[in-house]
C-alpha cells in the first residue's frame, strides 16, 4: 500500500515551487489533493501534472489572504474529499503591490499585510481544519517557515516576524492536539530556488550553502511529505531546518 493511500491533503500555493513539489510527493504516495493557488494558469497546470499520477485532484482558486475564501475552500475541499487529513500550509511570501522595506522606513500597513500573509493565513487554515482532525483522531500539519525567522532579514522584518510567529503557534498547538493523533510541525526553509532570482543572487546563495548549491524543489517537497507521513508519527511541535546547513555559517571561506 502506498504511504498516503486513503488520505486527502490540502495544499496552498500549489501552482508552482514548494507547494507543487510537495503535492507531487503526496500524489506519488497515492494522496488525494485539494489544491489552491491564486493564479489560475499555474493551478491548472499543476493539477494536470498531478492528475497524471492517478490521484483525485480538486482545484480551489483564490487568495488565502481572504478569510471568506478560506471558509469556502475548507468547506468545498471537505465536501469533495469527505475529509482532510493533511495540511501543507505553504502559501506565503509577499502580497502583491506591497513593497518590503526597512522597518523604520516602511509603511505600517505594508508591514501588517506581509505579516498577515505569513502568519494569519496559515493560522486561519489550521484553525479551520483542526476540529475535524481531532474528531477523527488523525491529522498531520506542516507550516512552511523560513530561515529568515531565526536569522532575521534586512527589509524583511514583517516576513521574518510572521514566520517566527508560526513557530510559536506550532509548538503551542501541537501540545494541545498530540493526544488526539494530530501532529503539527514547521519546516524552516533555506535556499529553495525561485524564478525571481537574478543569476548574481543565485550564485551568491549557491556559495552560502555547504552543498555549494541551493536546494532542489523536490528536496523540500520530500521533507514536507515526510512530516505529513506516518513515518513522522512521533515528531510534533518542531521547527525543522531544511536549509542545506545555511543556518551554520561557512567559517573557512
Ligand X SMILES: NC(=O)c1ccc[n+]([C@@H]2O[C@H](COP(=O)([O-])OP(=O)(O)OC[C@H]3O[C@@H](n4cnc5c(N)ncnc54)[C@H](O)[C@@H]3O)[C@@H](O)[C@H]2O)c1
Cβ-closest residue to ligand X? 17
- Give the separation between CA 166 and CA 130, rounded to whole angstroms: 15
Query: Is 65 one of the binding residues for ligand X (CB under 6 A)?
Result: yes
Q: Which range of residues in 15-23, 47-55, 171-179, 225-233 is near ligand X by CB under 6 A? A: 15-23
Query: Is 15 one of the binding residues for ligand X (CB under 6 A)?
Result: yes
Total residues contacting ligand X (rule CB under 6 A)?
24
Query: Is 157 one of the binding residues for ligand X (CB under 6 A)?
Result: no
Q: Which range of residues in 36-44, 47-55, 150-158, 226-234 is near ligand X by CB under 6 A? A: 36-44
Segment 125 to 154, residues that bind ligand X, using CB under 6 A: 144, 146
Q: Judged by CB, which is closer to ligand X: 198, or 252? A: 198
Among 7, 16, 81, 167, binds ligand X (CB under 6 A): 16
**Per annotation, catalytic residue among 138, 159, 204, 234:** 159
Sheet holding 182-189, edge to edge: 57-61, 32-37, 8-11, 86-89, 139-146, 182-189, 239-242
Q: Judged by CB, which is closer to ligand X: 59, or 229? A: 59
Query: Is 36 one of the binding residues for ligand X (CB under 6 A)?
Result: yes
Query: Is 91 one of the binding residues for ligand X (CB under 6 A)?
Result: yes
CA 107 distance to own-chain centroid: 26
Among 9, 18, 70, 224, binds ligand X (CB under 6 A): 18
Query: Is 185 one of the binding residues for ligand X (CB under 6 A)?
Result: no
Query: Is 221 one of the binding residues for ligand X (CB under 6 A)?
Result: no
What are the backbone angles phi and psi of residue 155, rounded to the nearest 5°? Answer: 60, 15
Q: Which range of residues in 80-88, 134-142, 176-184, 186-194 is near ligand X by CB under 6 A? A: 186-194
Q: Which range of residues in 90-98, 133-141, 178-186, 227-235 is near ligand X by CB under 6 A? A: 90-98
Q: Judged by CB, which is closer to ligand X: 148, or 236? A: 148
3-state secondary structure 184-236: EEEEEECCCCCCCCCHHHHHHHHHHCCCCCCCCHHHHHHHHHHHCCHHHCCCC
Residue 8 has which C-alpha cell? Answer: 486527502
Among 37, 85, 173, 244, binds ligand X (CB under 6 A): 37
Sequence-distant (≥ 6) Cβ neighbours of residue 224 within 8 angstroms: 18, 22, 25, 88, 90, 142, 144, 187, 242
**159 annotated active-site:** yes
Please give the positions annotated as active site.
Answer: 159
Sites of contact with ligand X (CB under 6 A): 12-13, 15-19, 36-39, 42, 63-65, 90-93, 144, 146, 189, 192, 194
Amino acid at each position: 500500500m502506498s504511504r498516503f493511500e486513503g488520505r486527502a491533503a490540502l495544499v496552498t500555493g500549489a501552482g508552482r515551487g514548494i507547494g507543487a513539489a510537495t503535492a507531487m510527493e503526496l500524489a506519488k504516495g497515492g494522496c488525494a489533493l485539494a489544491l489552491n493557488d491564486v493564479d489560475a494558469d499555474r493551478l491548472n497546470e499543476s493539477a494536470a501534472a498531478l492528475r497524471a499520477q492517478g490521484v483525485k485532484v480538486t482545484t480551489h482558486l483564490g487568495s488565502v489572504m481572504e478569510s471568506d475564501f478560506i471558509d469556502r475552500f475548507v468547506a468545498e475541499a471537505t465536501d469533495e474529499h469527505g475529509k482532510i487529513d493533511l495540511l501543507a500550509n505553504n502559501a506565503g511570501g509577499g502580497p502583491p503591490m506591497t513593497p518590503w522595506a526597512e522597518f523604520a522606513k516602511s509603511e505600517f500597513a505594508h508591514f501588517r499585510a506581509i505579516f498577515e500573509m505569513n502568519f494569519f493565513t496559515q493560522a486561519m487554515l489550521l484553525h479551520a481544519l483542526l476540529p475535524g482532525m481531532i474528531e477523527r483522531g488523525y491529522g498531520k500539519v506542516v507550516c512552511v517557515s523560513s530561515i529568515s525567522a531565526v536569522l532575521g532579514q534586512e527589509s524583511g522584518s514583517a516576513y521574518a516576524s510572521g514566520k517566527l510567529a508560526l513557530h510559536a503557534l506550532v509548538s503551542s498547538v501541537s501540545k494541545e492536539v498530540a493526544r488526539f493523533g494530530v501532529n503539527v510541525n514547521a519546516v524552516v526553509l533555506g535556499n529553495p530556488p525561485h524564478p525571481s532570482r537574478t543569476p548574481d543572487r543565485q550564485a551568491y546563495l549557491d556559495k552560502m550553502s555547504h552543498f555549494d548549491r541551493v536546494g532542489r524543489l523536490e528536496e523540500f517537497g520530500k521533507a514536507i511529505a515526510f512530516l505529513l507521513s506516518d513515518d513522522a508519527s512521533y515528531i510534533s511541535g518542531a521547527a525543522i531546518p531544511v536549509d542545506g546547513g545555511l543556518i551554520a555559517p561557512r567559517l573557512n571561506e
